[in-house]
Amino acid sequence: MKKTAIITFLFLASAFASIAQVNKSNQVKPKPKAKKAAPIHKTVTRPIPFSIEQKVELTTDYGVIVMKLYNETPKHRDNFIKLVKAGFYDSLLFHRVIETFMIQGGDPGSKYSDTSASLGDGDVGYTIPAEFNPKLFHRKGALAAARDNNPAKASSGCQFYIVQGKSYTPKELEQIINGKNMSHKQEILYNLYQRDSVQAMVNELNAKGDKEALRKYISSLQPAADKEYEQKYPNATNVDMDQIEYYVKVGGTPQLDGDYTVFGEVISGWNVIDKIAAVATRKSDNRPLVNVRMKMRLIQ
C-alpha cells in the first residue's frame, strides 16, 4: 500500500473508531458360534455418548492434570481424542509458558528438539474449523486450541494451551470488552477499505485533492461497515454476568474470548498449571529453560 493510502486509512480509522458500550452407546456384544463353542471376543469401537464428556489425563513431572472435553465442540473433541489415542502428545513439551496467562504445547517438533531451538511452528498439516460458543469461555483451566493469524480463525490441528490467567476488576473487564469490539470494528473497516471499488474512489479523490469530498465519501461507508459488524458480531454488546463474576473471583484470559476455540477445561490439577506457569523461561520466546514434557491418556 502506498504511503498516501496509509495516511488516508489512518484518517478513515479515526472516522469510524467508536468504542462499543457494555450492556448488560451401546457396546456390541459378540454372539457365540454355538453352545459348545467359546464366544468370539473382539474389540469394538464405542462412540462417546453426547451426554458423557470424555476425560483426558495429562501427566507431567510437576503432577497430573485431568481435563474434560466439551461435546459442544465435536470437531475439536474428536481430533484431540484421535491424537491422544495415537500417543501423539507423549513426550512433547510445553514449549511456551507465560505466567498469569497460559501454558502451551503440542508442537510435534518439540519431541526431539535441541534445547536452544525456538518452537511453535510445528503442526500436523491440517486445521480445525473454529467452533466458537459464547458459553465456553477462557476461564482459568480452559483448554483451547492455538492458531495462526488465518482470517477464518481455524485452529491448529494439534497445538493447544491451558489457561492460567488472572482475576480482573469489573472496570478492567469493561475496558477489555470495549477494546475487543473496537478492534473488530477496525478490522472490518480495514477490509472494506481494501475493496477495489473503494480504493479506486479514494485514489480519484486524492488525485483531485478534494479533501471535503473524500471526508464525505468515507463517512458514507459507515452504514455498510456497521451492518457488517452487526452481522459478524451479533452478541458484541451482550455480556454474560456469570462469566464476568468468574473472571472477577477466579480469573482467566477474557481478551481471548471469541477469537480462539475453547474445547475443554481442567477438572483437577489446578496446582500443576500454577507450577508449570511459574518455571523459568527464555525471554525471547517464553520457552522453559528446563524441558516440561507431557504424556496423555483417555480415562473415564
Give the pLDDT confidence of 17-72 residue by residue, as tens digits: 433 333 333 333 333 333 333 333 333 334 445 568 999 999 999 999 999 999 99
Average pLDDT, the chain: 85
Q: Could you tell me the strand order of the sheet in which 262-268 lies? A: 94-98, 102-105, 160-163, 142-145, 262-268, 63-69, 55-60, 295-299
pLDDT 10s digits, 73-87? 999 999 999 999 999
Q: Which helix (H) or strand (E) holds 271?
A: helix 270-277
Give CA–CA dist 90/84, Å, rounded. 8
Low-confidence ranges of the chain (pLDDT < 70): 1-51
Question: Could you tell me the residue ranges of all domains in the chain?
Answer: 55-167+250-299, 168-242
Superfamily of domain 55-167+250-299: Cyclophilin-like (2.40.100.10)
Helix 241-249, helix 170-193: angle, nearest 10: 120
Contact 97, 276 (CB under 8 A): yes
Sign of CA dihedral 5, 7, 13, 16: negative
Give CA–CA dist 235/50, Å, rounded. 27
Give CA–CA dist 266/176, Å, rounded. 24
Give CA–CA dist 278/111, Å, rounded. 22
Q: Where are the alpha helices (DSSP H) in 27-89?
A: 74-85
pTM, two decimals, is 0.76
Instruction: Give the single-character DSSP code of 120.
Output: S
Phi, psi (deg, nearest 5) at residue 46: -105, 120
pLDDT value, residue 237: 73
